[in-house]
Amino acid sequence: MLPYSVSLQALSVNTTNTTNAINGSAPYFTFDGGRTKATTTDSLLGITLSDGTTITPSTNFSTLINPIVLPNVNETFTDVGMLMPVTRNSILLSSLVNARYNYWGDDDGDGQGTRGVTATGRLTVDIRDKNNQTVARNDTLDICNAPYKLVLRNTNGSLTTQYGVPNRSIFTADTVTYYINPTLSAKVCYAKPGLQEGVGRFAGPADMWDTRKGFISQSTSSDSYNLNFPTVGANGLYFDLDIGGSGLLTWAPVTQGGITANMTPNASGTSVRVMLTGPAATNDEQSNDLPGRLQAGIPVLPQIFELEGKDSSGRTVVKYGFVLQKWFVNRGLRTAKAANITAWCASLGYRMIKVNDVTNAVCGNNSYCQGSVGATPPSSGSYYQRRINAGLFSEWGRMLNYSGAGFSNSVYWTSDVTGSRAFYVYAYNGRVYQGNPATGNYHGLCVYP
């Protein structure tokens, strides 16, 4: 009888134990085979960098001025791990648990079989550059468009297995924004003069001119700095360097041939104002028809300017170079006949401008400008087009907007003639017209050489 009794007791004990719940682990979402497990909203909206660093909303301290930096060069957002499949921008969480993705797991083995696991809710991702342009996961990243903004958001949702305790992970609606920079060296992205008269028909080619940012940097090599803006200048003209991938730097002034470029960075170091100072006519010289050689002198041209941004240790972080080939001196708002302007410029030691010194406008079949010759590369019409090395107005845009530079938006005589008539140019749009040099009173502008 004893053996039978013991066996029954053992059976009774085993039956009692199997009625107690076995506490295991909750099901989770995963995009990397279980290395990263999302059982909370915080982990659901997390990202993982290629070096294994995981960042979640609770550990995300990135900002516009302190972005996350991708670990390796040439990485894209396909190298940033997240629950969103690379080819999608929005997905139902229920799609993540189907056979196509199988982005889930349960360490207890629960959830297998038909309808063994279900999910509710939605996940979306939106990636944009600093200009608010949409970026695809596989797009090549550019430091000039950084920092990038990656926004992950989810609705209320859950992940549930049919059996197991616990058998559910709950996710509450939330949103997180990550600011991210690629690993690329700092560089000057744009040189931005005045942008007015820079869109539509005035806009230069897309590989040279950006209607929102100005001239695109064309060269970082000292032997081809002449490809960059500006190639011509005048006292009081200024432009902004748009810099990607650096913080606040120190910029020392650069003086060449009697012309100085003074730099003033903004508070974050992402932009630097470059002000040109050099020979200019005084009020007395502007008022005098024959003032004599310009007191401020004549610059030595051409001159190469290399601007250097240095960090606190004195290391050069970024450079920008350009070559000034011509220098202009205006007569302020005073107007006169063409011969008077010619003599005034010659007295200063300069010459009166030609059409191709200031505009690249093309006359076409218009009778009012026949015979005029604009700068090259030419515009596509009878107005200037924003191009490098295509004249003062074509490069710098609306001259009146440069406060303190002394320019007018109106008409300037040129030394170009056709028969008994002379050509003049409108500063604000670069159009060329013929006029009677003996009767027309227009503004004066000189150039050297």
Same domain, 315 and 272: yes
pLDDT at residue 95 is higher than 50: yes
User: Are 31 and 132 in the same domain?
Assistant: yes
pLDDT in tens, 311-367: 999 999 999 999 999 999 999 999 999 999 999 999 999 999 999 999 999 998 999
Instruction: Report the domain count for the chain.
Output: 2
Answer whether residue 38 is part of any domain. yes
Q: So what's the pLDDT on residue 24?
A: 76
Q: Average pLDDT of 152-160?
A: 97
116 in the same domain as 193: no
Spatial separation of the C-alpha atoms in residues 156 and 177, rounded to whole Å: 18
Q: 98-136, pLDDT tens digit by residue?
A: 989 999 998 877 657 566 899 999 999 999 999 999 999
Residues 303 and 306: their CA atoms lie apart, in Å, by 10
Residues 93 and 226 in one domain: no
Is the pLDDT at 70 greater than 60, yes or no? yes
pLDDT for the residue 114: 61
Residues 33, 140, single domain; the answer is yes
CA distances from 181 to 68, 204, 330 (A): 6, 29, 45
Q: Which residue range(s) make up the domain with 269?
A: 187-448
Q: What is the pLDDT of residue 188?
A: 97
Sheet holding 148-154, edge to edge: 68-69, 174-181, 148-154, 122-128, 90-92
- Predicted confidence at residue 8, as pLDDT, reads 29
| 356 and 329 both lie in a single domain | yes
Q: Clarify whether residues 259 and 137 are in a common domain.
A: no
Of 229 and 2, the structure prediction assigns the larger pLDDT to: 229
Question: Confidence class of residue 5 from pLDDT cuts 50, 70 and 90?
Answer: very low
Residue 149 shares a structural domain with residue 206: no
Per-residue pLDDT at 17: 42
**How much is the pLDDT for 2?**
35
Structure confidence at residue 163 (pLDDT): 80
Is pLDDT above 50 for 13?
Answer: no
From CA 323, how far away is CA 159, in angstroms rounded? 64
* Cα-trace Rg, the chain: 34
Say if 365 falls within a structural domain. Answer: yes
261 and 122 in a common domain: no
Segment 243-297, tens digit of pLDDT: 999 889 999 999 999 999 999 999 989 999 999 999 999 999 999 999 999 999 9
What proportion of the chain, given as a percentage, has pLDDT over 90?
A: 87
CA distance 219 to 274: 18
pLDDT for 7 equals 35
